Structure 1
Amino acid sequence: MIVRLTVIIIASIIIAFSFNMFLLPHEVLSSGVTGIAFIIGLKMPGINSGFMILILNIPIVIYGYKVLGRRLIFYTMISIVVTSFSMQIIPKEALAQDPLLSAVFGGAIGGIGIGLVFKYQGSTGGFDIIGLGITKKKEIPLGTIMFALNAAVVFVAGFLFDWDKALFTMASIFVTGKVIDAIHTSHLKLTVTIITRKGEEVKQELLKNVVRGITVWKGEGAYSNEGRSILYTVVSRYEVEVLKELIAKVDDKAFVNITSTAELMGNFRKT
């Protein structure tokens, strides 16, 4: 937990750095609710965009707590608060004078921060929470929802500022998405086989904390002839660290084999 919390705090500071030193000085927006906060901050100079990120996310976090659960929302709140606070400390000064370079590098640096937050079981709030909540209730692809919500921000940027800035915003969002995908890798699936003497305890711990199906077999040690439980499950890449922590908490002597999964068929919950 300490490592996860530390990474999320550092990643959130990186996000704030990308906003204040690359995007905001050139009026290049970020995606989602953060983009809306940027618009308010740019159009109303007396209001800090970081403060608006915090305010706009409050009702979304409440919604997310009801729909998505306590664990994700706790780390999301940490990320939002650190990002908001850091944006009020880091000076809003352009490191590069070229707006296109700033959009690309700001998007890349921001993507590193956001990707790390996602990788360590958090989120940066905003449309991420809304999108996850909608997909949990409706059979609508998350990518479709996020594209529609972010496209709306880009069009608003075009009308309120100018279309050059809107296109820079689109370029920044595109780069951010590519970097997030490279770091987060939630689309990669792994097969986990656990051999343990505490099969029932491990199974219950995983069922409480990881929303994945588990198959349990009964096994026997070839040399000891002692009974073992063999648990088999498939998880996404970013869930593996949580899984290992949970297993070690119950049985630190469990044998765990983790292998890449090339393809899946059937019912696998996408998160």
Structure 2
Amino acid sequence: MLRKVSITILSSILMGIGINGFIIPIHLINGGLWGVSLILNYLLGYHIAIAFICLNVPIYLVASMYDKTYFVNGLLGITISSIIIALLTPLQFIIHLPILYSTIFGGTVIGIGVGFMLREHISPGGIDLLALIFSKLFSINVGLALLILDSLIILIGVFTLREVRLLYSMLIIILVGITATVITGIKHIKLYM
């Protein structure tokens, strides 16, 4: 359990850095329910972490009926990642890079965090939890399932917010998906914690 908590904290820090340091300052979205939460923040001013938790309730209800382990690990992931991402909000005012660099760094850092959580069958919530379930149901790599689901979120964001520059968000989710696929696909990575 200590290993899972340690990996969740480290992964959440990486995700918090990616979201707050690189994605939000340039008003892009990443995939998953974090992406939906960002859309709600940009459109309606909702607090990102609170919107994220509310959006996750139905998914967690389904997960609790489908697989208790995913449900418990998901609760661990969503609780820790929501708190850490909220605590790292001040990064939004510190890092200011050109859009392409923010996209590349943000997508890669988030992908590393998500990838290590998914390797341990821990979900930072929402779409990642669905990706774990889909990967088990359809015997596909969880990173690939995540990439497909996240692509749908970005397309919804582009049509809802009507900003062409949000197509950079596709690059973010491609980087997150590829990074998570690589990390979850490598069988011999050992983290000593």
Q: TM-score, normalised by structure 2?
A: 0.83
Q: Which has the higher strand share?
A: 1
The one-letter code sitting in structure 2 at the alignment partner of 1:80 is I
Counterpart in 1 of 2:123?
123
**Where do residues 79-158 of structure 1 align in structure 2 (5 Å cutoff)?**
79-90=77-88, 91=90, 92-93=92-93, 95-134=95-134, 146-158=146-158
The one-letter code sitting in structure 2 at the alignment partner of 1:87 is I
- Give the root-mean-square deviation of aligned CA atoms: 2.5
Larger relative contact order (C-alpha < 8 A, sep ≥ 6)? 2
- Note the alpha carbon deviations across 1:146-182, whole angstroms, 9 max, x for none: 45532322222222141122x2101111111222122
- Structure 1 Cα separation of the partners of residues 185 and 139 of structure 2: 21
In the alignment, structure 1 segments of 5+ residues that lack a partner are: 189-236, 242-271
- Note the alpha carbon deviations across 1:77-125, whole angstroms, 9 max, x for none: 1221122122322212251331111111001111111111112231222
**Where do residues 222-237 of structure 1 align in structure 2 (5 Å cutoff)?**
none
Q: Does 1:185 align with 2:153?
A: no
- Structure 2 Cα separation of the partners of residues 79 and 10 of structure 1: 11
Counterpart in 2 of 1:268?
none
- Structure 2 Cα separation of the partners of residues 19 and 122 of structure 1: 19
The one-letter code sitting in structure 2 at the alignment partner of 1:59 is P
Does structure 2 retain, via aligned residues, the 8 Å contact 1:13–1:82?
A: no
Counterpart in 2 of 1:258?
none
Does structure 2 retain, via aligned residues, the 8 Å contact 1:12–1:80?
A: no
Q: Does 1:27 align with 2:27?
A: yes
Q: Which has the higher helix share?
A: 2
> For the pair shown, which has the larger CA radius of gyration, 1 or 2?
1
Does structure 2 retain, via aligned residues, the 8 Å contact 1:51–1:85?
A: no
- Structure 2 Cα separation of the partners of residues 3 and 132 of structure 1: 19
Counterpart in 2 of 1:229?
none
- Structure 1 residues 3 and 73, CA, compared in 2 at 3 Å: closer, same or farther? same
- Structure 1 residues 94 and 101, CA, compared in 2 at 3 Å: closer, same or farther? farther
- Structure 1 residues 68 and 84, CA, compared in 2 at 3 Å: closer, same or farther? same
% of aligned pairs identical? 22
Counterpart in 2 of 1:6?
6
What SS does the corresponding residue of 2:93 show, helix, strand or coil? coil
